[in-house]
Amino acid sequence: MKFAPRVFFRCSRSMLLASAMLVSSLATSALAEDAPGQKVYDRVCARCHGPAGEGAEAPTLVPLNHTADQVLYIARLGRGEMPPLPKNTISNEEIADVVAYLTTLAAH
């Protein structure tokens, strides 16, 4: 029991990393409009960051100069005017999908 929290942290972190890697490898081989993060981005982020991540009330996200971990951290805790986004609004996997989508936009 003593080691359970540490084991949990390791597992969830490596699963997140693995899913982020899987998503980004899928995203690079798929067309931008097929990116799974696009729908999530449109639903959750676009109203503040602009329909194509170009920035509106909130700063531009293209090119994305944050790692997937940093985006997850910002999304969960909020930053300045950006409110924390709860898990029932967007899951860790969906945030990884959004990061992959934004990376695709940066490539264009």
Size of residue set near ligand HEC by CB under 6 A: 22
Match 């985006």 to its residue by tokens.
71
Q: Is 52 in the site for ligand HEC (CB under 6 A)?
A: no
Q: Is 63 in the site for ligand HEC (CB under 6 A)?
A: no
Q: Shortest approach of ligand HEC to residue 28 CB, angstroms?
A: 19
**Single-letter residue type at 49:** H
Q: Is 79 in the site for ligand HEC (CB under 6 A)?
A: yes
Match 């967007």 to its residue by tokens.
90
Q: Is 16 in the site for ligand HEC (CB under 6 A)?
A: no
d(CA 43, CA 48): 11
d(CA 80, CA 76): 13
Radius of gyration of the chain (CA): 14
By the 8 A CB rule, do 100 and 26 touch?
yes
Q: Shortest approach of ligand HEC to residue 37 CB, angstroms?
A: 9
* φ, ψ of residue 79 in degrees (nearest 5): -155, 125
Judged by beta carbon, residue 26 or residue 48, the one nearer ligand HEC is 48
Q: Is 105 in the site for ligand HEC (CB under 6 A)?
A: no
Q: Which residues bind ligand HEC (CB under 6 A)?
A: 44-45, 47-49, 57-59, 61, 66, 71, 74-75, 79-83, 85, 90, 95, 98
